[in-house]
Amino acid sequence: MALLLGPPSSGKTTLLLALAGKLDNDLRVNGEISYNGYKLNEFVPRKTSAYISQNDVHIGEMTVKETLDFSARCQGVGTRYDLLSELARREKEAGIFPEAELDLFMKATAMEGTESSLITDYTLKILGLDICKDTIVGDEMQRGVSGGQKKRVTTGEMIVGPTKTLFMDEISTGLDSSTTYQIVKCFQQIVHLTEATIFMSLLQPAPETFDLFDDIILISEGQIVYQGPREHIVEFFESCGFRCPERKGTADFLQEVTSRKDQEQYWANRSLPYRYITVSEFANRFKQFHVGMQLENELSVPYDKSRGHRAALVFKKYTVPTMGLLKACWDKEWLLIKRNAFVYVFKTGQIVIIGIIAATVFFRTNMHQRNEADAAVYIGSILFTMIMNMFNGFAELPLTIARLPIFYKHRDHLFHPPWTYTLPNFILRIPITMFEAIVWVLITYYTIGLAPEASRFFKHLLLVFLVQQMAAGMFRFISGVSRTMIIANTGGSLMLLLVFLLGGFILPKSSIPNWWIWGYWISPLTYGYNAFTVNELFAPRWSKPSSDGRTPIGIATLNNFDVFTEKRWYWIGVAALVGFIILYNVLFTFALMYLDPIGKKQAIISEEEASEMEGEGNFSEDPRLLKPEPNREIALQSLSSTDGNNTREVAMQQMGSRGNPSGIRSVDSMHESATGVAPKRGMVLPFQPLAMSFDSVNYYVDMPAEMKGQGVTDDRLQLLREVTGAFRPGVLTALMGVSGAGKTTLMDVLAGRKTGGYIEGDVRISGFPKNQETFARISGYCEQTDIHSPQVTVRESLIYSAFLRLPKEVNNEEKMKFVDEVMDLVELNNLKDAIVGLPGVTGLSTEQRKRLTIAVELVANPSIIFMDEPTSGLDARAAAIVMRTVRNTVDTGRTVVCTIHQPSIDIFEAFDELLLMKRGGQVIYSGPLGRNSHKIIEYFEAIPEVPKIKDKYNPATWMLEVSSMAAEVRLQMDFAEYYKSSSLYQRNKALIRELGTPPPGAKDLYFPTQYSQSTWEQFKSCLWKQWLTYWRSPDYNLVRFFFTLAAAFLVGTVFWRVGKNRFKLVATLVE
């Protein structure tokens, strides 16, 4: 099992994609990749191996188990069945009788085509997803599993298959270090027992996780610096003159030692002056290192194909029988239709309402059959029927677009061919369309007074059904070709315009110019229009003579509207509509088969990184590479600026002047009497330091229906249980716990972001009961997902937030000065004019977006800031930069609380205090960390039989392991109860009582208005940002411009010089 490490933009993902055979075909690739001696073009690499992306793309409506079951059905069992057959044969020959349970397990894992397999349940257990297996995955619009659980679903989706070669790209994002360790340890056992191959990249692997790997590959600037056994990698860098510090994780050291910014601090050869060692030099020195020389010798000998079994590779694109894949896709589509039943109920309701409107507008008491004018009114009702049922298919467009990313993922992994996706999509919507057509016809047909014969009623119903099916197929085809909502909306609108203009009813066939007459024959509504009118106007009641005394009214009306006057045109229309239905769905299948998702394939590399890679530019003068000023620099060994021993005293000194009646003072004055502590950073705008205390907080939600179905009788599910603690100014608090412990839930409850459920307990702000309306004005919340307007710059994002959220008493000049101060605080000055952009596509990197998220909240000048996993998804160096920003924020005297996963030793010890929770929403520790985490280590080591922490072991990982549920079972104790019986808990209760009492003369928070700014000021700020957004959205504006130009061209050329002919003009106006 190999670990891939490297700094950002070093080429980790590109390397994994290349090895998995998934690089884009348009890219120029040199070199050769082989599996067991076979080149990539000699087998199917995408089926032999599996690439687990760092992007979590799933169908939000499906549960975790359903997602894995579908993946297992599509990937099949591989060679498990053949191996079991061979094993059974050999056992029979040898007279061996296997254990019943083991034999049953192996047979269950070799069964193919079942809706749910034992492998799925096994995978759920391995990844710790069994507790949420019946919860929907969720997406932007639906709440589902947590981010860490969704990341594990992405991993599980691939490993349920038979593939034994796995390329895993940053699978630990959002997971706590203990869970990551358990998962990687399980993979290690799989590799060693089954001889599988796993190549995994991780962002911030803890030392104990790092030690699980056999080999390490270190890549930087697209070059491999080291590849070989884990035991020799530190030795290699020591031979180059660099040493890993005592309290530094080896993985963090490796990711920073090749960086120009971070390399110098690891220079160990004091006898020689430091100079920057380039990546190329490292790579050349590795070739002279004994591991590199051994590797070169191994690669110089060609691999003998006979050493490996041919069955280890896959030579067919789809290993599951076609009918099995079709059934799996059929079941999935049926499931999604049931989950999206609201959409179809809403569509039916829409049809009912519009049908009632149509029926009352064309009510039969006002409809006569006396002459051609009366017949024209009936044709009007038919046109309305066609148009409304055509528009009814438009709903397929957003539904299809939303599912395309998931389809492309499944297609790239060769889960199933495109036609097995489109066929169930088409067939399963036939009953829905038929039902909608019946509803429409029942409401409108006899109410309007169309031809009363039963045969014509059913013919009319058939046409309504076919028009709806044709429209749905057309919009699915447009979605498959367009692939994005903006292009699809434009393409759909243009298609509708073309179909309506040339359908023969807006402009008669004889009036359509010769250069557009071809459009008349390819418009599906041409045939629908002819079929509808022929079906109605050939009825017996329209056989009376028209105004000329000879021609029947029906025929005369058809002639007036330039419609074909033969009865056979009904069946021609039916056949044509059926043909268009088939054509659009076939074209949709081909679009899914051959078109790739729209998006940039190249990596995003900043100018800074590019100049480093090319060795260009004056680095000493680049402001982005300058070290911070001394008062801002945080040592990488320990980011914490205060010892855990004195944080309480410092915090109490900060709170010492709460007797100020106004409660508002300059931050600089907070530390005039604080001796021995570095002065906090002053800012242009004063704020009121506030402490938050909470006592016996409980949070319940209604019991999910899935759990009730499993026999749970309680009406409520408790997520938080008797949570007690305090957050204070100038103290950086970490909120930690295993996945599912309730960290984000607690933060959401305290921040007032939980709108559902039942909350109990006492929450106070500087002694006064918390009022959410006022609390929202003095608090900030940095979400885990960095959501920003992509078209504005960094500085404009902050200006927008400041102008909306700062009090009206602050003038514009002070607001702008405060914005500049915040940018300096979070180190975004060098990026102030950079466009924010879209994540992973353009603009800022993930780490820069994290800092922008913090800055957007800081410019509101809050007293209390909540941050949800500010370092999640970042490598060690980027996480250190973000933590320096967080530390700077705390140094201003604000109260800052962070939930955090997988912290390195450096990041963990940057915090002053810790609130540790266990699964079930209970607190098991709340107090200081201490220097080198000695406070929390002493607390847990004092518990009998708790194992002592090992040297260089990450305290964050250690405390999660020794306090896990498994540890509680082993020790036969409850850590929550132990904490409640401790002296630490009593001290915390005393502190909460003190903070829960308002100081004499203090006043509760009060704001005269709900919003900081008036409606007019809010409007101006929103208008300003919207103006910038539109101005910087050329793709959107160009699409709108193109649509306007195309629509104008269509209308102009179709109605070319029609106004010059009075007869044509009158006819057009009548139409």
Residue 572 clears pLDDT 80, i.e. is over it: yes
Q: What is the pLDDT of residue 163?
A: 87
- Cα separation, 954 vs 792, in Å, equals 40
For tokens 């003190």, name the residue: 994
Q: Mean per-residue pLDDT for 290-294?
A: 93
Per residue in 463-475, pLDDT (tens digit) is 999 999 999 999 9
Pairing state between β 34-35 and 732-737: unpaired
Per residue in 740-775, pLDDT (tens digit) is 788 889 999 999 988 788 999 999 998 999 998 889
Q: Mean per-residue pLDDT for 973-987?
A: 93
Give the Cβ contact number of residue 1045 at 10 Å.
10
Per residue in 308-365, pLDDT (tens digit) is 777 788 888 898 899 999 999 999 999 999 998 998 999 999 999 999 999 998 887 6
Q: What angle do CA 601, 606, 611 make, to 5 degrees?
A: 115
Residue 643 clears pLDDT 70, i.e. is over it: no
Q: What is the pLDDT of residue 595?
A: 92
* Amino acid symbol at 522: I
CA distances 537 to 440, 456, 463, 464, 559, Å, are 20, 10, 15, 17, 11
Residue 652 clears pLDDT 80, i.e. is over it: no
- Cα separation, 606 vs 834, in Å, equals 11
- Cα separation, 741 vs 899, in Å, equals 11
Q: What is the pLDDT of residue 977?
A: 93
- Cα separation, 432 vs 574, in Å, equals 19
Measured between its terminal Cα atoms, the distance across the chain in Å is 74
Residues of the chain with pLDDT > 90, as a percent, come to: 40
Per residue in 699-744, pLDDT (tens digit) is 998 887 767 767 777 888 889 999 999 999 999 999 998 877 888 8
The radius of gyration of the chain from alpha carbons, rounded to an integer in Å, stands at: 34
CA distances 61 to 136, 153, 1013, Å, are 6, 14, 40
Residue 662 clears pLDDT 50, i.e. is over it: no
**Which tokens go with 883?**
């933590």
3-state secondary structure of 97: coil
Residue 531 clears pLDDT 90, i.e. is over it: yes
Q: Mean per-residue pLDDT for 1006-1017?
A: 88
Q: What is the pLDDT of residue 1002?
A: 81
Give the Cβ contact number of residue 809 at 10 Å.
7
Per residue in 22-50, pLDDT (tens digit) is 888 777 888 888 898 888 888 999 889 99
3-state secondary structure labels for all residues of 865-904: EEEECCCCCCCHHHHHHHHHHHHHHHCCCCEEEEECCCCC
Q: What is the pLDDT of residue 674?
A: 31
Q: What is the pLDDT of residue 713?
A: 76
CA 200 from centroid of its chain's CA atoms: 21
Q: What is the pLDDT of residue 636?
A: 29
H or E segment and range at residue 81: helix 80-94
H or E segment and range at residue 4: strand 2-5
Residue 274 clears pLDDT 80, i.e. is over it: yes
Q: What is the pLDDT of residue 405?
A: 92
Q: What is the pLDDT of residue 79?
A: 67
List CB contacts of 948: < 8 A, sequence separation 6 or more: 941
Residue 801 clears pLDDT 70, i.e. is over it: yes
- Per the DSSP assignment, residues forming a β-bridge with 734 are 898, 914
For tokens 């056949």, name the residue: 575
Domains and CATH numbers, the chain: 349-594 (no CATH), 647-786+864-995 (3.40.50.300)
Q: What is the pLDDT of residue 117?
A: 80
Q: Mean per-residue pLDDT for 690-697?
A: 93
Give the Cβ contact number of residue 293 at 10 Å.
12
Give the Cβ contact number of residue 141 at 10 Å.
7
Residue 216 clears pLDDT 90, i.e. is over it: yes
List CB contacts of 183: < 8 A, sequence separation 6 or more: 126, 127, 128, 152, 155, 171, 172, 175
Residue 684 clears pLDDT 50, i.e. is over it: yes
Give the Cβ contact number of residue 784 at 10 Å.
18
* Amino acid symbol at 694: F
Is the Cβ–Cβ distance between 216 and 228 less than 8 Å?
A: yes
Q: Mean per-residue pLDDT for 70-93?
A: 76
* Amino acid symbol at 85: S
Residues of the chain with pLDDT > 70, as a percent, come to: 88
- Cα separation, 55 vs 16, in Å, equals 14
Q: What is the pLDDT of residue 109?
A: 67
Q: In the structure, what pLDDT confidence band is assigned to residue 598 with cuts at 50, 70 and 90?
A: confident
Higher pLDDT pick, 700 / 626: 700
* Amino acid symbol at 772: Q
Task: Round the average pLDDT of the chain to a whole number and report it.
Answer: 84
Q: What is the pLDDT of residue 840?
A: 62
Q: What is the pLDDT of residue 113?
A: 65
Q: What is the pLDDT of residue 1064?
A: 52
